[in-house]
C-alpha cells in the first residue's frame, strides 16, 4: 500500500508540473540569439540625487527592481523568423492564468500591449510587448515586488524627471 501511495504521489507531482512557456523563458532562450538584442537595467537608472522624493515616490521606488529588454530587429532576410517569433510571444501572452492584459493600443499587426503578473495590488511583473511590422518588436519586463498601477505611474514619472541616459534604450529603436 505504501508503494502504491508513493507512486501516486510521485505521478501527481510529475504530471502537475506544466511546461507552459513563459516570457521569462522566452528571454532566456533568445537573449543571445541572432537578430535579438537584450539588456538589463537596474533600479539605479532612476537618478534620484537631484529629485525631492515624497513618501509615495520612495514606496514606488522600493517596489521596483529592474527592467529587462529583448528586441528583435526585422530586416529583409528574417521576415519568416520575425513572424514565427511574434506568434510565439502572442501564444505565451494569451495564457490568461499567468498574464493579465492591462492595456492595448494599435491594431493586431502593429501596436503595443501591457500585461501584468500577480493581482491588481501586488504586481510582480509588468510586460510591455510592442511591435512594428516594418522594423521588429520589443518586450520589456518591469520587475519588482508588490507593485501596483499607481506605483508604476510614479516610477514612469520619476524616470522622466531624472533625465536618465536614454542610450541603454537604443534597442527600442526597433519599435519607434
SS3 118: strand
Q: Whole-angstrom Cα distance, residue 100 to residue 138?
A: 18
pLDDT at 130: 93
Return the closest-CA partner of residue 41 out of 63, 23, 58, 65. 65
Between CA 111 and CA 53 the distance in angstroms is: 33
Largest CA distance in the chain: 69
Handedness of CA 42, 47, 53, 57 (dihedral sign): negative
How far apart, in whole angstroms, are the C-alpha atoms of residue 153 and residue 126?
A: 12
User: Domain boundaries in the chain?
Assistant: 20-174
Using the structure block, give the residue that is written with the C-alpha cell 535579438. 36
- According to the model, what pLDDT value does residue 8 have? 47
pLDDT tens for the 176 residues of the chain, in order: 555 444 444 544 444 455 789 999 999 999 999 999 999 988 888 888 888 889 998 998 999 899 999 999 999 999 999 999 999 999 999 998 899 998 899 876 789 999 999 888 789 999 999 999 889 999 999 999 888 888 888 888 888 887 766 666 665 665 55
CA dist 80 and 2 (Å) reads 54
Predicted TM-score (pTM) of this structure: 0.80
C-alpha–C-alpha distance, residues 66 and 145, integer Å: 10
Amino acid at each position: 500500500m505504501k508503494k502504491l501511495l508513493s507512486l501516486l504521489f510521485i505521478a501527481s507531482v510529475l504530471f502537475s508540473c506544466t511546461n507552459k512557456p513563459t516570457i521569462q523563458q522566452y528571454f532566456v532562450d533568445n537573449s543571445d540569439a541572432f537578430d535579438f538584442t537584450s539588456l538589463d537595467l537596474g533600479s539605479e537608472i532612476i537618478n534620484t540625487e537631484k529629485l525631492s522624493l515624497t513618501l509615495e515616490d520612495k514606496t514606488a521606488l522600493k517596489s521596483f527592481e529592474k527592467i529587462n529588454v529583448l528586441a528583435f530587429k526585422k530586416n529583409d532576410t528574417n521576415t519568416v523568423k520575425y513572424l514565427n517569433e511574434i506568434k510565439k510571444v502572442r501564444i505565451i501572452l494569451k495564457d490568461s492564468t499567468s498574464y493579465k492584459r492591462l492595456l492595448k493600443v494599435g491594431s493586431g499587426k502593429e501596436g503595443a500591449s501591457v500585461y501584468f503578473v500577480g493581482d491588481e495590488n501586488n504586481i510582480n511583473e509588468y510586460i510591455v510587448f510592442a511591435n512594428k511590422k516594418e522594423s521588429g518588436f520589443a518586450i520589456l519586463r518591469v520587475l519588482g515586488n508588490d507593485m501596483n498601477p499607481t506605483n508604476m505611474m510614479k516610477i514612469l514619472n520619476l524616470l522622466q524627471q531624472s533625465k536618465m541616459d536614454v542610450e541603454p534604450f537604443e534597442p527600442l529603436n526597433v519599435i519607434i
